[in-house]
Amino acid sequence: MSAPAIKAPARQMMELLEELAAFSAPGPGVSRLLYTPEWLQGQRFLQERMAALGMEVRTDGVGNVYGRFAGSQPAAKVILTGSHIDTVLNGGKYDGAYGIAAAVTALHYLRQNFGQPLRTVEAVAFCEEEGSRFPLAYWGSGNVTGLYDGSEAQRCADSAGVTIASAMEGCGLGRRPEDCGTAAAAGYAAGRAPLREDIGTFVELHIEQGIVLEQAGLEIGIVEAIVGQRRYSVKVAGSTNHAGTTPMGLRRDALAGAAEMLLAMEQAAIAAGNPLVATCGKLEAVPGTPNVIPGEVQFTLDVRHSEADALEHFCSMLLAAFEEIAWKRGLTLQATATLATAPAPMDTGLNQQLQHIARQQGRSFRSMVSGAGHDAQLFAPVCPTAMIFVPSRAGISHAPEEYSSPDELAAGLNLLTAVLYELAYKES
Amino acid sequence: MSAPAIKAPARQMMELLEELAAFSAPGPGVSRLLYTPEWLQGQRFLQERMAALGMEVRTDGVGNVYGRFAGSQPAAKVILTGSHIDTVLNGGKYDGAYGIAAAVTALHYLRQNFGQPLRTVEAVAFCEEEGSRFPLAYWGSGNVTGLYDGSEAQRCADSAGVTIASAMEGCGLGRRPEDCGTAAAAGYAAGRAPLREDIGTFVELHIEQGIVLEQAGLEIGIVEAIVGQRRYSVKVAGSTNHAGTTPMGLRRDALAGAAEMLLAMEQAAIAAGNPLVATCGKLEAVPGTPNVIPGEVQFTLDVRHSEADALEHFCSMLLAAFEEIAWKRGLTLQATATLATAPAPMDTGLNQQLQHIARQQGRSFRSMVSGAGHDAQLFAPVCPTAMIFVPSRAGISHAPEEYSSPDELAAGLNLLTAVLYELAYKES
């Protein structure tokens, strides 16, 4: 059996994608926020479907769902594949759900056509990745890998004041120390408690959520690394003054200062070159009245790079440039780090396998950096991890307009299925 | 009698100022928005006070209050002095009220000490200047001079949906065509209907609301001109995109474009020199999420200059520069003019008189441009008009911290009183 012989049933996957999309709160697109009724119905539907396909189904304390085909070598670690089932508010039907539908379809196809695998395979639907309801992200994969130990559930609340713990309880869920294995339970006491320590490999298939593949006219992206992120909240303070009676030379205009900073940031980011990106997405000028010089501006910074050193260097350099602009203008600057994640390199060996298969399958592909965060970055420090992208039309995601064509989705499915075959069925 | 002999009673004015400040909605500073209960009580208090001082008191259809000492030459036009009684929300106690308290004090002092004037003098409290409750400004002086004809009252509503007409009715007010004189009533039919056509001179005393006098260590500002203003609402549109997955080179970032525009505006304004000022006071980036590149930015422009040509030239040049920045970045630009007022030059003869008296009174003074709008600009096209400034501590106004010292306020009162003496008592 070689990769070209793999013919995973794309139609079955597309049907499952459509079925999942139906579990949504009202409104445009798909809205399936963590621990909402539509989320719960979606996870239950998926459990039933996995069971109907002959998988052993189980959920863990935070609501991740696993469908398993046990391997003939029970000592071998698990080959895990999947993605997250939650969406942003008014999101699309591919982000996350595609990786789940493809995982279930691929494993079922392999079981039907090639029998019991040597190594146990599992399809996973992580309960949460987006951070759209509660002020944290990767709740699903983070509990599995030990980024979280479950205690966050008591402290974290949504905008209505509902804690994760209370929302979980409403879904009949709840993570306790004894949910972990023995080693993990010890880790729980020590402050780090992965829900699972039996994962040997993780492969995630996902839409690109960017325009790189479309612009290059390529079918497949093989992710080299997921970028590290730094986020800051920056406050610039000057003097609130009358827009008519304050001559230009006597102003300490916080907004003019912020404008100079944003322009400096853009120029520095362009100069640094790909894959560095730097963005201000949110800016508020106070008091925000047309005829008053803003005395205060608060804005966000989002900086990403696939290399830790380059990320660190850029951020230090940028904040120093901001300081200089503030000083020159008689403004004060306060930059608070709000997020810092390290870059997550994917497994080189797995990526070579993926390239080899993609060539066999006649796919056009490239290696690329993922500028967005994904569940895969949580697994990268824990086990060999890989990630496959398919094109996103116009680079749009997190919107009802999110779209990848059936052919593009099928190409991703076939690559995933072939690599899972090699991982689970071939003697190593 | 010469100017140095004028000794207007500053204490009486300060007491009246304090009394007026008591008419305020709860909260910090003074809040006396048009046609609110505190506004109505303030205007009624003022009518009683004027009557107690021997003035003939009357109000017009929009609620302006006049206190008059009739002159012995009834054919001569009226010498009018005063300012506005409304405040911004949480404003100070000097902006507007100072000009009223000084006017009442000055005219009463002159009547007491020099008897009946040759020409009729009136102190006025305009009902509204700030534009803080309804989306128009100068409602008081604008109805007097014919900028408004009263019909706006039906169309204009505050943020709670209450129209000016209905708010006026609640105060027992309402402007009808027959409120105008015969000539004015004809003008009313023709679309322009000043409530009064008997005003011969208008003099307004006001706090500077800027830092120019304080920085220069001067006691008095004699206004050469009130700036003309142009306001615009500018919309910059690009593409909303994922902050992580969109390389710098593939972005159409509306906020980065807006930042470049604001910086260009600041540089051009500094290059143009005083008295030009240009300000962006309000900016909104959409969607306003830290990890999303803003696809749209809306910001305001406020540009002022005392010369019409220079104002026009700067605005055209600036909007052309904005167009170029937008074009270069693949953004679209839409600039909508939201306000355009012409510069209002004050009367040269009156200003010479003021300078002469200021010298006699031993005051340090300068000619200056008013960067803020004032009721006086409505009178400038109608009759000889002058405006006197006293220093504002730290240039602060429209805030509870607004302050001018009793000595500074007294100096302004004495100059106003002396010029009113010359205008009303001296044979021309």
How many other CB atoms are there within 10 angstroms of residue B22's CB atom? 12
State the smallest CA–CA distance between residue B73 and chain A in angstroms.
Answer: 40
Residue B203 has pLDDT above 90, yes or no: yes
Alpha carbon dihedral B354, B356, B362, B363, in 10-degree steps, equals 30
B231 a known binding residue?
yes
Please judge whether A242 and B210 are an interchain contact, meaning their C-beta atoms are less than 8 angstroms apart.
yes
| Residue-averaged pLDDT of chain B | 94
Q: What is the mean pLDDT of residues B77-94?
A: 96
How many CA within 13 A on the CB side of residue A75? 0
* Strand ranges, E, within A322-391: 332-341, 344-345, 365-370, 385-390
Choose the weakest-confidence range: A8-12, A290-294, B29-33: A290-294
Name the token pair of B102. Answer: 């000084």
Quote the CA–CA distance of A127 and A271 in Å, as a whole number: 39
Please judge whether A277 and B212 are an interchain contact, meaning their C-beta atoms are less than 8 angstroms apart.
no
Name the token pair of A260. Answer: 């100079």
Q: What φ, ψ does residue A227 adopt, rounded to 5°?
A: -60, 150
H/E run at residue A376: helix A376-379
pLDDT given for residue B2 in this prediction: 62
Chains A and B: how many Cβ contacts under 8 Å? 210
Quote the CA–CA distance of B121 and B370 in Å, as a whole number: 25
CA distance to A275, A396, B145, B245, B324, per residue, from B239 (Å): 20, 10, 48, 13, 18
pLDDT given for residue B176 in this prediction: 77
Place of tokens 């001179």: B201
Residue A117 has pLDDT above 70, yes or no: yes
If DSSP codes are grouped into helix, strand and coil, which group holds residue A394? Answer: helix
CATH 3.90.1150.10 applies to domain B228-341: no
Cis preceding-peptide flag for A287 (omega within 30 of 0): yes
State the smallest CA–CA distance between residue A195 and chain B in angstroms.
Answer: 29
Q: What is the mean pLDDT of residues A23-29?
A: 96
Q: What φ, ψ does residue A142 adopt, rounded to 5°?
A: -70, -35
**What DSSP character marks residue A299?**
E
pLDDT given for residue A135 in this prediction: 87
Quote the CA–CA distance of B374 and B210 in Å, as a whole number: 14
**Higher-confidence position of B180 and B275:** B275
Please judge whether B277 and A211 are an interchain contact, meaning their C-beta atoms are less than 8 angstroms apart.
no
Q: Which residues in chain A touch residue B211, judged by CB atoms under 8 angstroms apart?
A: 241, 245-246, 250
Mutate to test the interface with B, among A233, A241, A291 (most CBs of B within 10 A): A291
Q: Which residues in chain A touch residue B227, judged by CB atoms under 8 angstroms apart?
A: 244
Tens of pLDDT along A349-375?
A: 999 999 999 999 999 999 999 999 999
Place of tokens 């998988």: A55
β-pair type (B121-126, B283-286): unpaired
Please judge whether A256 and B263 are an interchain contact, meaning their C-beta atoms are less than 8 angstroms apart.
yes
- Residue B193 confidence class, pLDDT cut points 50, 70, 90: confident
Quote the CA–CA distance of A164 and B40 in Å, as a whole number: 53
Residues B335-370 as b or e (16 or more Cβ within 10 Å = b)? beeeeebebbbbbeebbebbbebbeebebebbebbb
Residue B376 has pLDDT above 60, yes or no: yes
Contacts of B25 by beta carbon, 8 Å cutoff, 6+ apart: B31, B32, B33, B36, B38
Q: Which residues in chain A touch residue B396, judged by CB atoms under 8 angstroms apart?
A: 241
Cis preceding-peptide flag for B287 (omega within 30 of 0): yes
Please judge whether B270 and A248 are an interchain contact, meaning their C-beta atoms are less than 8 angstroms apart.
yes
Quote the CA–CA distance of A277 and A212 in Å, as a whole number: 14
Residue B4 has pLDDT above 70, yes or no: no
- Residue B188 confidence class, pLDDT cut points 50, 70, 90: low
pLDDT given for residue B404 in this prediction: 98
How many other CB atoms are there within 10 angstroms of residue A354's CB atom? 27
pLDDT given for residue A189 in this prediction: 57
Quote the CA–CA distance of A283 and A272 in Å, as a whole number: 24
pLDDT given for residue A362 in this prediction: 96
Q: Please work out, in degrees rounded to the nearest 5, the angle formed at the alpha carbon of residue A28 by the alpha carbons of A27 and A33.
A: 65
Tens of pLDDT along A252-292?
A: 999 999 999 999 999 999 999 999 999 999 999 999 988 88
pLDDT given for residue A428 in this prediction: 75
**Higher-confidence position of A406 and B398:** A406
State the smallest CA–CA distance between residue B398 and chain A in angstroms.
Answer: 9
State the smallest CA–CA distance between residue B232 and chain A in angstroms.
Answer: 9
> What kind of architecture, by CATH, is found in domain A3-226+343-425?
3-Layer(aba) Sandwich (3.40)
Contacts of B172 by beta carbon, 8 Å cutoff, 6+ apart: none
Residue B414 has pLDDT above 70, yes or no: yes
Residue pair A296/A235 in contact (Cβ under 8 Å)? The answer is yes
pLDDT given for residue A200 in this prediction: 97
pLDDT given for residue B36 in this prediction: 97
Burial of B25 (C-beta count, 10 Å sphere; 0-12/13-18/19+): middle
Quote the CA–CA distance of A142 and A128 in Å, as a whole number: 9
Q: Which residues in chain B touch residue A275, judged by CB atoms under 8 angstroms apart?
A: 247
Burial of B286 (C-beta count, 10 Å sphere; 0-12/13-18/19+): middle
Residue pair A58/A47 in contact (Cβ under 8 Å)? The answer is no
Residue B95 has pLDDT above 60, yes or no: yes
Residue A17 has pLDDT above 70, yes or no: yes
Q: Which residues in chain B touch residue A210, judged by CB atoms under 8 angstroms apart?
A: 242, 244-247
How many other CB atoms are there within 10 angstroms of residue A43's CB atom? 22
The string of DSSP letters for A113-141 reads: HH-S-SS-EEEEEES--S-SSSS-S-HHH
Q: What is the mean pLDDT of residues B77-83?
A: 98
Name the token pair of A217. Answer: 């006219």
Neighbouring-strand partners of residue A235: A298, A334
Q: Which residues in chain A touch residue B288, judged by CB atoms under 8 angstroms apart?
A: 281-283
pLDDT given for residue A15 in this prediction: 98
Mutate to test the interface with A, among B229, B291, B329, B390 (most CBs of A within 10 A): B291
| Chain B residue whose CA is closest to A295 | B281
Helix (H), strand (E) counts: chain A: 13, 16
Residue pair B90/B96 in contact (Cβ under 8 Å)? The answer is no
Quote the CA–CA distance of A77 and A201 in Å, as a whole number: 8
Q: Which residues in chain A touch residue B291, judged by CB atoms under 8 angstroms apart?
A: 231, 279, 281, 302
Quote the CA–CA distance of B40 and B94 in Å, as a whole number: 18
Residue A184 has pLDDT above 70, yes or no: no
pLDDT given for residue B175 in this prediction: 84
Tens of pLDDT along B350-373?
A: 999 999 999 999 999 999 999 999
Please judge whether B279 and A258 are an interchain contact, meaning their C-beta atoms are less than 8 angstroms apart.
no
Q: How far is CA B214 from the centre of its chain?
A: 20
Neighbouring-strand partners of residue B299: B234, B283
Residue pair A194/A144 in contact (Cβ under 8 Å)? The answer is yes
β-pair type (A241-242, B65-69): unpaired
Which residue blocks in A171-307 are alpha helix, DSSP H? 182-190, 212-216, 254-272
Residue A181 has pLDDT above 80, yes or no: no
State the smallest CA–CA distance between residue B403 and chain A in angstroms.
Answer: 14
**What DSSP character marks residue B127?**
S
Q: What is the mean pLDDT of residues B170-192?
A: 70
Please judge whether A277 and B247 are an interchain contact, meaning their C-beta atoms are less than 8 angstroms apart.
yes
Residue pair B236/B254 in contact (Cβ under 8 Å)? The answer is yes
State the smallest CA–CA distance between residue B361 and chain A in angstroms.
Answer: 26
State the smallest CA–CA distance between residue B136 and chain A in angstroms.
Answer: 14
Quote the CA–CA distance of A328 and A352 in Å, as a whole number: 51
State the smallest CA–CA distance between residue A400 and chain B in angstroms.
Answer: 14
Helix axes A10-21, A37-52, angle to 10 degrees: 150
- Residue A18 confidence class, pLDDT cut points 50, 70, 90: very high
Please judge whether A245 and B275 are an interchain contact, meaning their C-beta atoms are less than 8 angstroms apart.
no
H/E run at residue A142: helix A139-145
Cα distance between the two ends of chain A: 15
For CA atoms B244, B250, B255, B260, give the dihedral sign: positive
Q: How far is CA A153 from the centre of its chain?
A: 20
Q: Which residues in chain B touch residue A263, judged by CB atoms under 8 angstroms apart?
A: 256, 259-260, 263
pLDDT given for residue B153 in this prediction: 93
Mutate to test the interface with B, among A279, A297, A387 (most CBs of B within 10 A): A279
| Chain B residue whose CA is closest to A392 | B245
Helix axes B406-425, B348-360, angle to 10 degrees: 120
β-pair type (B199-207, B385-390): parallel
For CA atoms B6, B9, B13, B18, give the dihedral sign: positive
Please judge whether A246 and B211 are an interchain contact, meaning their C-beta atoms are less than 8 angstroms apart.
yes
Residue pair B280/B262 in contact (Cβ under 8 Å)? The answer is yes
pLDDT given for residue A249 in this prediction: 94
Known binding site: residues of A?
84, 95, 130, 206, 231, 291, 304, 398
Residue pair A105/A8 in contact (Cβ under 8 Å)? The answer is yes
If DSSP codes are grouped into helix, strand and coil, which group holds residue A99? Answer: helix
Residue A177 has pLDDT above 70, yes or no: no
Please judge whether A245 and B395 are an interchain contact, meaning their C-beta atoms are less than 8 angstroms apart.
yes
How many other CB atoms are there within 10 angstroms of residue B334's CB atom? 12
Quote the CA–CA distance of B346 and B222 in Å, as a whole number: 9
pLDDT given for residue B289 in this prediction: 86
Spell out the domain ranges in chain B.
3-226+343-425, 228-341
What is the maximum alpha-carbon separation in chain B?
82
Quote the CA–CA distance of B404 and B396 in Å, as a whole number: 10
ipTM confidence: 0.85
pLDDT given for residue A186 in this prediction: 62
Q: Which residues in chain B touch residue A372, judged by CB atoms under 8 angstroms apart?
A: 242, 244-245
Q: Please work out, in degrees rounded to the nearest 5, the angle formed at the alpha carbon of residue B207 by the alpha carbons of B201 and B213.
A: 110
β-pair type (B228-237, B365-370): unpaired
- Residue A138 confidence class, pLDDT cut points 50, 70, 90: very high
- Residue A162 confidence class, pLDDT cut points 50, 70, 90: very high
Instruction: Using a pLDDT cut of 70, give the percent of chain B over it.
Output: 95
- Residue B339 confidence class, pLDDT cut points 50, 70, 90: confident
Mutate to test the interface with A, among B239, B242, B286 (most CBs of A within 10 A): B242
Please judge whether B245 and A289 are an interchain contact, meaning their C-beta atoms are less than 8 angstroms apart.
no
H/E run at residue A414: helix A406-425
pLDDT given for residue B345 in this prediction: 97
